[in-house]
Amino acid sequence: MNIVLKQFFLLTCAVCSLINLKAQAPAWHPSPGHTETPIWPGQPPEGKPAAGPEVDITTSKDPLIAGKPVIRLGNVAIPTMTVYRPKDRNTGAAVVVFPGGGYQILAIDLEGTEVCDWLTSKGITCVLLKYRVPKSGPYPKSPEALEDAQRAVGLVRSHAAEWQVDPHRVGVLGFSAGGHLAAALSTHFDQRLYKPVDAADQMSCRPDFAVILYPGYLALSEQNFALNPDVPVTGQTPPTFLLQTEDDRVAHVECSLAYYGALKNANVPVEMHLYTEGVHGYGLRRTALPVTAWPQLVETWLYTIKVLPE
């Protein structure tokens, strides 16, 4: 009996060890050939303790997007960037991508890696920012996500020669909360929110252009959807592309409309595309709805503003 109990005990320990190893495994990691690098040399500013290990909170009950699940990455305490290089020709342009997720999680594949695959196929260097969540924004309620965004753009410019990037053609692209983050960075680039830590923080963090897709937090519903004063548009705000659907009940159409109006009034070059259907959170996964053709619209716009060469 003692032998049987001993064997059962050892088997139980082995099973528990496997479960523990699985729990400690990263919830997400880049595809082979890409390296995830922390953006801060030490503890990130604010230094809030993590709520727990990074975890994919997606369950079988969550809706599928274009027939596929979404990786919903939570508890990101150590922000990182992953560089995706162009697959064939290099145009010299670069885009830092901000996935959405309500500043609670990151839709790291739907609005992250899949976008980088598209951008690199067009000759654009893509930098996927895994910024801190949850409760890391919107600025100024919480500064962490905007700090990470400022730091990431400065890092891209500091590596411009190494990555064969034109430092004057570095833009941002964001979805939902990531779209708000792109707008926040577009209007808060003149001063870092944190104490500079190295030479990368001496570089400008102003995007040269911004692609903002179904953004939230840009208008105040309690003030008849007036522009949120925390995104103070000026003539220095970069050229912007906006995409929105009228039936979006997560990020209301008024957010995009208010931001568009402010850009227009400030004489900032802006292009907006408004569709009837599409709701929210489709990324660039193809559906039967016309809105999912937006990547071609963005590509055309990048040629129009001379980010992509003829």
Residue 35 has pLDDT above 70, yes or no: yes
Instruction: Pick the more confident residue, 185 or 252.
Output: 185
**Mean predicted confidence (pLDDT) in 36-64:** 90
pLDDT category at 126 given cuts 50, 70, 90 is: very high
pLDDT category at 51 given cuts 50, 70, 90 is: confident
**Mean predicted confidence (pLDDT) in 63-76:** 94
Nearest in space to 108 (alpha carbons), one of 94, 95, 97: 97
Residue 259: φ, ψ to 5°: -70, -40
The answer to whether residues 153 and 184 touch, using CB atoms and an 8 Å cutoff, is no
pTM: 0.91
The answer to whether residues 132 and 177 touch, using CB atoms and an 8 Å cutoff, is no
Q: Supply the pLDDT for residue 50.
A: 74
Instruction: Pick the more confident residue, 12 or 227.
Output: 227
Dihedral sign for Cα atoms in the order 294, 285, 54, 56: positive
Q: For residue range 149-184, what is the model confidence (pLDDT) as tens digits? A: 999 999 999 999 999 999 999 999 999 999 999 999
Q: Supply the pLDDT for residue 25.
A: 56
Residue 230 has pLDDT above 90, yes or no: yes
CATH architecture of the domain with range 34-304: 3-Layer(aba) Sandwich (3.40)
Q: For residue range 95-122, what is the model confidence (pLDDT) as tens digits? A: 999 999 999 999 999 999 999 999 999 9
Compute CA distances 236 → 94, 133, 153, 187, 208, whole Å: 20, 29, 17, 8, 10
pLDDT category at 139 given cuts 50, 70, 90 is: very high
Token pair for 91: 């145009």
Q: For residue range 80-89, what is the model confidence (pLDDT) as tens digits? A: 999 999 988 9
Rounded distance, CA 98 to CA 111, Å? 8
Instruction: Pick the more confident residue, 104 or 1.
Output: 104
Pairing of strands 106-107, 72-74: antiparallel
Residue 11 has pLDDT above 80, yes or no: no
Q: Supply the pLDDT for residue 222.
A: 87
**Mean predicted confidence (pLDDT) in 67-93:** 95
Instruction: Pick the more confident residue, 27 or 139.
Output: 139
Rounded distance, CA 44 to CA 148, Å? 9
In the chain, where the domains are located: 34-304
**Mean predicted confidence (pLDDT) in 144-153:** 98
